[in-house]
Structure 1
Amino acid sequence: MNGFTPNNNTNVIRLLSEAIRKCNKSRNRILMGAVVLCILTLTFVFGTAYGKINAEYTKNIRMDGTTASTYIEEGTKQQYEKARSLGYARETGRRMKMGEATESGKKESICSIQVLDQTAWEKMMKPAYTGVHGTYPKKQQEIMLPVKTLKKLGIDNPKRGMKIALDVSISFFQTEKEEFKLSGWYSAYTEDNGKSKAIGYVSEKKLKDWGYDIEEGSDILICQSNDMDWKDTEEKLYEDVPMKDNSQQIIATDTAKNRAVKEMTGSYVMAVVEAVVIICGIFLLVYNVMQISMSGDIRQMALLHTIGTTKKQIRKIYIRQIMWTIVPGCITGTVLSVLLLRYLIPELVGRQYLNGYGGAEELQIFRMEILLLAVAFTLLVILGASEQVIRQTVNRTCIEGMHYTEQTGRKKRHRRRNDLGKGTFNKKKRSETQELCFMAWKNVTRYRQRFVITVISMFLGIEMFLIVMVITTGSDYANIINQRPDFLIAGEFSEFAQKEGSGTEYQTQSPDQDPLKSEGNSFELLYDNEYDEFSPISEKVRNRLWSLDGVKKKKSYITEGAYMLSSISRDGVRPLEKDTYLGKNVEYAEESSTDYESGAKMIEGLDADTVQIVSENELKALKTYVEKNKLKVDMNSLEAGTGVMIVHDHKLSQKQERQAEKAVGETVCLSPLKNKETCIRWNSMTDKERDKEDEIIKAETPSTEYTLSGYLDNQADDFPEIHQTWHGAEGDIYYLVSEKGFNRLPTKRKTFCMELNVEKKKEKNIMYEIQKILSAENQRRKSNTQTSLDGEGEAVIFYIARSDLMQKIADYIRGNRIMFGSISVILLCVGLVNYFNIMFTGIVGRKKELEIMRKIGMTRRQERKLLLLEGSYYVLLIAGLVVSVGSIVLKGIEVYMRKQLSYFTFHYPIGAIAGSIVIMEIVCVIICNLLILKKMKK
């Protein structure tokens, strides 16, 4: 017994693990690479997507100036309580718009004044601002102002408690002179214009001092669930919250988060589908490496099982040798993920990514939780595959384990001795190439389960790369700008409107906003120019612009029409009334209430309305849209020239929409404005003389009668593209009329705006010519006060160049492309590395088989050709799947994304498909010629 050596299982397990690791050295290198790629891919793709969505969310709320995406105008206390109780309303607050504020003793508006409740400030407004100093006003004379407004007041270094004197116009007849104390200030990123003017906040105590209560008559702000789009939100709110009258409206938009997800993936559903596909592809990548070497591992473990190694000991040996590989892989993957996502990508994207919205510090694509989940997922996949090896080892007999192969399926029927020779010599002998092709196909499909998993994993890798390519190129922010004309030329609002602060958002430079949408009305547009001869773009300027060398006339468009006075029957105008229960028209009527009682049928507008001519193509598009959606609109009268259409920017409530359907066929009368000479004479008259002159003009002015063809909402889904001039103003009516219908009017057509597309090589010269033409015209209009009625000069002309917009957001587009391009590249690498792993581990695992083939006469050339054919079969199979099944998937992506994003552009990725196939074939050649055969030769 003196020679007895005690059993030291720990050392034995360590030695066996080390020996098996060295034996599987080639496989383990591939496995380590797969682990690194798995962690890097999951962290990179999901981290970048998560960071991009959050950055876009921040951009959206700062651009909107609020996180609220829906509001009920002038809501009641009961409506507020009802909205708070709704499960899909995440946050609910109140906002009271009070009026405009000017610096004491001056006329120019510097900001609007609003009052918020605590929820509206903390949850809806404050997150959209940066640099918030101080507190929201609580005391009666406290005010919070944006930095922009303070600079207008000449205050560069604000301090809490400093006194600020303002004149606040609360209503048309009420102006209050106030001395406030500054309670705080903030930085906002909305455009300072009539639509989203700088906002100053006062307290609820001040509101009560002015005689108002925030619980009654204030807008109810709502943040709905992110998975609800604006249409569903409006429909649900109309169902769940009773409206106080027919004209009360709910205005909803998609949430900032919803818009960010749409721009990135299309929708939450698509995001989940893409995430599942990516995870499945990564799972199959790692699992495939383990699966290919599994038969050899089972035979190794079976030998140990034969000599008495227990299941527990086998698990320790196998897991230990695997951990020697995956631990360095996890560390390497983690380090690379941190370097790429924490430092490299943010540096490439640049600090200008969210310039104008707070800077690129909002772009944080590295997420520690995503990295930890990626590491955990990788470990679970490898350990799960390892457990399968151990389970199959111990569940087999020793002999079965030592002779284990992956071959499955039905056993082949053995041929009887008597059958031998029958037909054998009659078969046509295959050539060498045919034989090699046959052998290669048999080798590829030898193990069916491995073959199916391999093909699916490679297809998913390449297809996911193509899907991301299609989505990213189709939803590229540049597509928004590319839908614009090269040059948009239109008339500005009058100087009066710009001084008052309304109408200035018309011509916005923001690429994703309509530059012709405005809250200014026709009174502000035509102020000092309200005569029949006035045209925003004069005929002389129009002809000079149209005749510029390089203008593509077939691809350019001129919007024409006139400004007319309109009268509509009472039932025809009823959908636009503010209070239909009372039967009174508050905003759009000239008659008094006695006129209603006396039975007056026609309602005359106070100001001129826009009458726009629609082209034949636009008429056809409108007709198709009406028929498709089965709308109650009379397109026949519009086409025939006997009818006019009213379009609006989603201004009608649900009840008003139903009233609009009943208004079809009502009477509309259009009359021209006074001519310039009459207007000048009218301005010099006394009030009594004016009244008398108006009666004479009204009696002598010809009026053209039409029928009302109907109302259409130009914000509705699938509404056709109509080249509208300025639109969106409250209280105005926007008419569409056909060429035949306009020819009936006693006025000349005016040019509202021009959309010019030009030859690229002449674009710079044309821009110079446009600048020169407009500069000379605007100088003439401003200097020649005789062209206006009150001596301020005609409204001038502006232009917006697409190239300027593109340059303005070049950094943002570059950042987007870098992030999306990085995701595409890494997904392509997943597919290629998967192919490399399959080829490399598959050939290495057949070392002995290839040695036997060489011993029985296979030459080096034939061996190389055989392996190339095997790799090429995989390439052909993947190419076939991508072109057939993959194309169907890409077509579905196109249809889906077009519904989600109006500017989505589909480009079939023929270059990416061809490139990925060529790269796979190159990888096959490299593996066969440089790696495998050279190693075997040694």
Structure 2
Amino acid sequence: MMENNNKKIICRMAMRALRYNRRRSILLFAAVALSSFMIFSVFTIGSTYYKMTRLQNIRMNGADFDAVMYGGSEEQLEKCKTDEDVRAVGLVGVAGYIEETEGDKTANLGTVWADETFWNEMMSPARTSVEGTYPQEKEEVMVTRKALKTCGLEDRQIGDSFRAVYVDGKGQKKDMEFRICGIWDGYGDKNVFYISKALYDTCGYEFSSVVSGRCHIDFAKTFLTEKEQQEFQEKMKLDKQQALIFTEGMAASIPIYFGMIGIVMITCFCAYLLIYNIMYLSVAGDVRYYGLLQTVGMTKKQISTLMKRQMMILGSAGTLAGVLLGVAVSIGFIPVILGSLGINADKIGGVQISMHPLVFLLTALVAGCTVWIGSRKPVRMAVQISPVEAARYRASYGKKSRKKTGKGKIIWRMAKEQFLKDRKKTTVILLSLAAGLSVFLCMVTIIESQGARTIVSNYMDMDLVLYNDTLKKEDSDKWEKLMDDRFLGEIRHNGGIKQANPLYFARIDVPWEPEFSDQWMREFYEMWMYESYDHVRESYRSGTLEDNLFCIVGIDEDEFDYLTETLNTKVNRKKFFSGKTCLLYQNGLDIAESDLKGKRVTCTGYGDPDNRRTFEIAGLTGENYYMAASQSRMTIIVSADTLKEFLPDDQITISRIAVRYEREYDRQAEKEMMELVGKSPYAKDFSSTSKIEEKEMVEEAQGNLTEIGICIALILAFIGILNYMNTVTGNLQNRRVEFAVMESMGMTQGQIRGMLIIEGLFFAAGSLCIAATLGTGITWLIFQAVNYRNVPFAVPTGPVLLMTAAILLICTLIPLFVWNSIAKKGSVIERMRQTK
């Protein structure tokens, strides 16, 4: 047969066929458009999700940096500034603290100096407002409303002055008059006064000291591998006291990136299944039509061109529509997110609307490839079949096989046979549903794990911790007993309080001895002190060392259980509570537990050498909660009863009380606790850490992060549902003659519906099993990749139960809906005579 050049005619036929089959064309167009929209949305929202995670980390850190180095010599700073991988270096210097103000005798608020890079560049994304200017004169300070409230100066404004006792780096107290030159608000540590360079230069600290210097480093690269991080650390040549810590975002950037890539890959696979299923079912239904075209003279090549032209028209139009819809949604959606976060993206460089060309290219490429792959098999089928075979063609839905009559109810047996009849199609449906369910499971697990309730965790997961701020004063004569057993009893008798655990505190002496205390003090001086231990060793040995502060704390059984769970060694409970053993707060010292365990430490009452007690060291803990005093050389942890037996009551005070409410995040219980504190004559000398306040801070920093993740999860779950819907629809349409035959043999429509429900349950159970096994495994891998906060892995029960119920309903209702539509299209005889 001679081939004619009739491309224009083929193009008109393609357009005419699309118009003639409007319903099918609309369905194909909608499938491509929806899939393109989903792909585009996942790329765009995924990118936004990543950027918002980074913004959250910036807010939690209070500035935009990737690593912080404690202390920094001139040589190290020069290396940082000249390193080609470093974009910027911001310096912050701790300059002492405000001990008291005219409004509060226990303010204990830090003072720091920040250079222009840190203040103007790194802190800018974490600030929401700035009034005034950064301090230039010695007496000027930049404050926050929270810091003013802490100091009892909440009524002060810019230009106002106040008097305060300032303690510098040498421990010298200065009664100074400060003037507020600016007020800022935003995220990070707001309980601090920013001071001028002029005051920092006179504070007595050197920036090279780890006590003062903070060198914040912003790398030019988005990601730094662990090897690159290690190489940078080695390049800095840190001394023993120094530490270089990478932020959570920088340390976890690569795992998060690959975790998001994994989610995108699963999404693309789901989108491919959606387009492929619709294309295959639609084109396969017209095989007879294409075969009959050969009888009127069309060549196989022309038929192939005709089919490809239809696919190209629908694919191009659908992809364009999906991308445009994605752009419209993104433009309308992202500004809402930014506005709700309370930031101005144009001014502070936050998350801005970014339509990267690569997103458009990837969307068009994935959709185009999917349309092409999805149409290849139907095209080959239509081209290769002969006109005679095409006239007799019926869409198949499984291989025919002869089997013996099985046992069991016939409806269940028929549903099972249908489920296993076409294994390929069944596998596609199961994978389609399982992929969507798995991604939904993955997203809700990550969202739940990174929620404020999960991230926020107080000591022993308590709701509130009350602190005695007078113990922060260097002069122990000014320490006050803010909390006593009577105060503790009032807390415990509150109906909203489930548990209250006091931490008892007292000052002691630890005489010099060569086996333990000499080793401990040498390590302490090397880590934290300016002067050499060799200079003070003889004074300590003779008992004449000034300010030789040692502390002892007493804990109850609840605290012991919590503490020992965090240790690497087992502590004998009976020996600890009988007063034979103790634990030590490690205080960041480079001492191995194995070097001290089993050694003995002797301590005496403060100023009472005759009152002596010796304990065997059972282990070390790094839990900061047990740091009894900031200037403590050593903190010994014993049981509360042991402490009370060792020292008189007038030497023991309660340093802090950890409180757990009957109901977590109980605002009424917290209000009553604050009212109790307010009744104390030392109300201003209390401070507290509240899990409710921390949760609110995290939620504010996260903004709409959770909502974004839920949108992603719902979109991806919807993909799997559409795949199931389209595949089942085509399958039931292909079986309509079979159903008509079964009805003619006496099978009722109720029995057919029951069989379809059972088939749907098989698909639901199969997809849930895959999601529960393989999906959970994938979820765990991705979870660990993005879990830079070390949150324990836990599958959220509520969303999983809702997901299970939803998939059971969907898998059973969709077949019934399609069957009811088929059953209305004529009598049994008419349906038996249908060929398409």
| 2:716 partner SS | helix
Contact 1:643–1:709 (8 Å) recurs in 2: yes
| Identity fraction in percent | 19
**Alignment root-mean-square deviation, CA:** 5.5
Selected match of 2:270 from 281, 302, 309: 281
* Structure 2 residue aligned with 1:735: 636
Aligned 1:52-201 pairs, distance under 5 A: 52-80=49-77, 112=111, 114=113, 116=115, 124-129=122-127, 189-193=187-191, 197-200=192-195
* Structure 2 residue aligned with 1:877: 766
Do structure 1's residue 255 and structure 2's residue 164 form an aligned pair? no
Distance change in 2, residues 1:604/1:251 (3 Å)? farther
Letter of the aligned partner of 1:902 in structure 2? V
Distance change in 2, residues 1:200/1:27 (3 Å)? farther
Supply the distance in 2 between the matched residues of 1:96 and 1:636 (Cα, whole angstroms): 47
Distance change in 2, residues 1:897/1:214 (3 Å)? closer
Deviations 1:241-260 (A, max 9, x none): 4334x3x221414334667x
Selected match of 1:243 from 238, 241, 252: 238
1:19 offset after TM fit, Å? Answer: 4.6
Distance change in 2, residues 1:639/1:174 (3 Å)? closer
Contact 1:39–1:374 (8 Å) recurs in 2: yes
Distance change in 2, residues 1:705/1:58 (3 Å)? same
Selected match of 1:493 from 444, 469, 475: 469
Contact 1:634–1:710 (8 Å) recurs in 2: no
1:318 offset after TM fit, Å? Answer: 1.6
| 1:563 partner SS | strand
* Structure 2 residue aligned with 1:786: none
Aligned 1:137-536 pairs, distance under 5 A: 189-193=187-191, 197-200=192-195, 202=197, 219-223=214-218, 241-244=236-239, 246=240, 248-256=241-249, 267-297=256-286, 300-304=289-293, 309=298, 313-343=302-332, 347=336, 351-353=339-341, 362=350, 367=355, 369=357, 370=359, 373-391=362-380, 434=410, 437-481=412-456, 487-494=463-470, 522-524=471-473, 528-530=477-479, 534-536=480-482
Supply the distance in 1 between the matched residues of 2:614 and 2:462 (Cα, whole angstroms): 39
1:823 offset after TM fit, Å? Answer: 2.6
Selected match of 1:566 from 492, 495, 509: 509
Supply the distance in 2 between the matched residues of 1:604 and 1:211 (Cα, whole angstroms): 22
Contact 2:729–2:815 (8 Å) recurs in 1: no
Distance change in 2, residues 1:706/1:223 (3 Å)? farther
Provide TM-score, normalisation by structure 2.
0.76
1:456 offset after TM fit, Å? Answer: 1.0
Supply the distance in 1 between the matched residues of 2:260 and 2:632 (Cα, whole angstroms): 42
* Structure 1 residue aligned with 2:579: 641
Selected match of 1:918 from 793, 809, 821: 809
Contact 1:668–1:706 (8 Å) recurs in 2: yes
* Structure 2 residue aligned with 1:747: 648
Contact 2:95–2:169 (8 Å) recurs in 1: yes
1:169 offset after TM fit, Å? Answer: 6.1
1:131 offset after TM fit, Å? Answer: 6.4
Deviations 1:87-123 (A, max 9, x none): 9877656555566799xx99999984536486x6776
* Structure 2 residue aligned with 1:785: none
Contact 1:100–1:168 (8 Å) recurs in 2: yes
Distance change in 2, residues 1:344/1:296 (3 Å)? same
Q: Structure 1 stretch 916-925 or stretch 903-912: which is displaced more?
A: 903-912
Contact 1:228–1:254 (8 Å) recurs in 2: no
Q: Structure 1 stretch 856-865 or stretch 382-391: which is displaced more?
A: 856-865
Structure 1 unpaired stretches of 5+:
1-5, 159-166, 416-423, 495-521, 586-591, 674-696, 716-723, 783-794
Contact 2:113–2:197 (8 Å) recurs in 1: yes
Contact 1:550–1:759 (8 Å) recurs in 2: yes
* Structure 2 residue aligned with 1:838: 727
Q: Structure 1 stretch 398-407 or stretch 69-78: which is displaced more?
A: 398-407
1:234 offset after TM fit, Å? Answer: 8.1
Contact 1:670–1:705 (8 Å) recurs in 2: yes
Do structure 1's residue 757 and structure 2's residue 660 form an aligned pair? yes
Deviations 1:703-729 (A, max 9, x none): 4344555543338xxxxxxxx366683
Letter of the aligned partner of 2:719 in structure 1? V
Letter of the aligned partner of 2:582 in structure 1? V
Distance change in 2, residues 1:65/1:637 (3 Å)? same
Supply the distance in 2 between the matched residues of 1:110 and 1:490 (Cα, whole angstroms): 17
1:460 offset after TM fit, Å? Answer: 0.9
Supply the distance in 2 between the matched residues of 1:575 and 1:637 (Cα, whole angstroms): 28
Distance change in 2, residues 1:358/1:805 (3 Å)? farther
| 2:188 partner SS | coil
* Structure 2 residue aligned with 1:596: 537
Letter of the aligned partner of 1:538 in structure 2? D
Do structure 1's residue 770 and structure 2's residue 673 form an aligned pair? yes
Aligned 1:635-714 pairs, distance under 5 A: 641-648=579-586, 651-652=588-589, 656-657=590-591, 662-664=595-597, 668-673=601-606, 697=607, 702-714=611-623
Letter of the aligned partner of 2:812 in structure 1? E
Supply the distance in 2 between the matched residues of 1:583 and 1:144 (Cα, whole angstroms): 31
Letter of the aligned partner of 1:932 in structure 2? I
1:332 offset after TM fit, Å? Answer: 4.5
Structure 2 unpaired stretches of 5+:
161-165, 831-836
Distance change in 2, residues 1:51/1:77 (3 Å)? same
* Structure 1 residue aligned with 2:704: 815
Contact 1:17–1:320 (8 Å) recurs in 2: yes
| 1:549 partner SS | coil
Contact 2:87–2:218 (8 Å) recurs in 1: yes
**What number of residue pairs does the alignment pair up?**
801
Supply the distance in 1 between the matched residues of 2:626 and 2:530 (Cα, whole angstroms): 34
Supply the distance in 1 between the matched residues of 2:688 and 2:528 (Cα, whole angstroms): 41
* Structure 2 residue aligned with 1:507: none
Letter of the aligned partner of 1:735 in structure 2? I
* Structure 1 residue aligned with 2:834: none
Contact 2:554–2:641 (8 Å) recurs in 1: no
1:17 offset after TM fit, Å? Answer: 1.2
* Structure 2 residue aligned with 1:577: 525
Deviations 1:667-721 (A, max 9, x none): 6443445xxxxxxxxxxxxxxxxxxxxxxx556x624344555543338xxxxxx
Letter of the aligned partner of 2:368 in structure 1? L
Do structure 1's residue 907 and structure 2's residue 810 form an aligned pair? no
1:75 offset after TM fit, Å? Answer: 2.7
Supply the distance in 2 between the matched residues of 1:851 and 1:621 (Cα, whole angstroms): 69
| 1:317 partner SS | helix
1:9 offset after TM fit, Å? Answer: 1.9
1:381 offset after TM fit, Å? Answer: 0.9
Supply the distance in 2 between the matched residues of 1:268 and 1:907 (Cα, whole angstroms): 23
Distance change in 2, residues 1:559/1:540 (3 Å)? closer
Provide TM-score, normalisation by structure 1.
0.69
Contact 1:72–1:219 (8 Å) recurs in 2: yes
Supply the distance in 1 between the matched residues of 2:563 and 2:168 (Cα, whole angstroms): 42
Distance change in 2, residues 1:323/1:805 (3 Å)? same
Supply the distance in 2 between the matched residues of 1:208 and 1:156 (Cα, whole angstroms): 24
Distance change in 2, residues 1:360/1:345 (3 Å)? farther
